[in-house]
Amino acid sequence: MTVIEPTGPSAATSAEPGVLQLGEAKPLRTEVWRRFRKNKLAVAGLIFLMLVILAAIFADLIAPYGFTDRPLPRTYRAGPSGAHWFGTDAIGRDLFSRIVYGARVSLKVGILATSLSLTIGILLGAVAGYFGGWLDTLAMRLTDVFLAIPYIILAVAIATLFGRSENSIIIVLGLTGWLAIVRIVRATFLSLKQLEYVEAARALGFGRWRIITRHVLPNALQPIIVYGTISVGTAILAEAALSFLGVGPQDPTPAWGLMVAQGKGDLVSASHLLFFPGAAIFLTVLAFVLVGDGLRDALDPKMR
């Protein structure tokens, strides 16, 4: 086979030393994934989260027993064994099965509470940052008012009204979790609305809400994505704390925080009742933090 060498001015120009050659531009998501993969801890956190999500989805297939089953022969506070990998609790229920089912509760609370807080925070932050004036003052003073209310007191009040359940916890965390994101979105909008492309959109006669949703908000997604990822882990930790205090879901709901509260009195005689649900909380929250940290580095323009 004969190879024909390219000739002509274009070939000579491309072969000249010192001339910068531009390659094909890669999609942003490809570049972000490439940088994310370099962070081994973030990848490990993502793999663990995928396992937790799969366990929550297929809990009926993974768990050997139901979360309320008391298998025979009855064993109370028994340690880990072949029949019960994580042991049994005070009334003979399989602890491994309850932790697997508990992943559903934790992920549901974490994702829904974070979605609610992000919706409130993005809306208020966008309005305050873009419009300014009295709307900015009103949004910031509203934020200050909520910052002055301890969320434990708010949790007790809402639990009294709506009952101690997963939905109450979602409302509590959703109504108190937007305080940080509203400041982040506001600061981002204050800087982005001064850029040339926003001025050009105004000159073309685009409406304010179109500029906010189509031009400014997409460029403000980096801190929102990072904060949202970490907030899911924070919400799971907060749900565990509220369940530990007795404000969250009640027995027999397999909430991890509730399991820790039930096992705290048997720390010496049956430490597995506290260790395994506590480890599930710790590892899941740590995984969300690692993924959020990896996304922050991958989305940072300075890291490109």
| pLDDT tens-place string over residues 42-98 | 999 999 999 999 999 999 999 999 988 888 888 888 889 888 899 898 888 999 999
Distance, CA of 272 to CA of 31 (rounded, Å): 43
> Angle 277-244-262 (CA atoms, 0-180°, nearest 5)?
60
> Residue 303 above 60 pLDDT?
no
Q: Report whether 286 contacts 236 (CB < 8 A).
A: no
What pLDDT does 1 receive? 44
pTM here is: 0.82
> Residue 5 above 60 pLDDT?
no
Distance, CA of 300 to CA of 215 (rounded, Å): 19
Amino acid present at 232: V
Which of the two residues, 205 and 98, has the higher pLDDT score? 98
> Residue 162 above 80 pLDDT?
no
- Which of 18-32, 170-184, 262-276 comes out lowest in average pLDDT? 18-32
What pLDDT does 40 receive? 92
Distance, CA of 42 to CA of 129 (rounded, Å): 32
What pLDDT does 30 receive? 82
- Token duo for residue 158: 């809402």
What pLDDT does 182 receive? 92
What pLDDT does 100 receive? 95
> Residue 24 above 50 pLDDT?
yes
- Token duo for residue 141: 């003073």
**What does residue 25 show for φ and ψ, rounded to 5 degrees?**
-70, 135
Mean pLDDT, residues 19-39: 69
What pLDDT does 18 receive? 47
Which of the two residues, 257 and 156, has the higher pLDDT score? 257
Helix (H, G, I), strand (E, B) or coil at 163: coil
Q: Say which residue the tokens 């910052």 belong to.
A: 147
What pLDDT does 23 receive? 46
Amino acid present at 123: L
> Residue 235 above 80 pLDDT?
yes
Residue 121: how many other CB atoms lie within 10 Å: 25
Q: Calculate the alpha carbon distances from 285 to 101, 103, 106, 233, 236 in Å.
A: 17, 12, 10, 4, 7
Q: What ranges in 196-250 are assigned the alpha helix state H?
A: 196-203, 208-211, 221-244
What topology does CATH give the domain 104-303? MetI-like fold (1.10.3720)
Positive or negative, the Cα torsion across 235, 280, 226, 290?
Answer: positive
Domain ranges of the chain: 104-303
> Residue 200 above 50 pLDDT?
yes
> Angle 290-294-300 (CA atoms, 0-180°, nearest 5)?
145
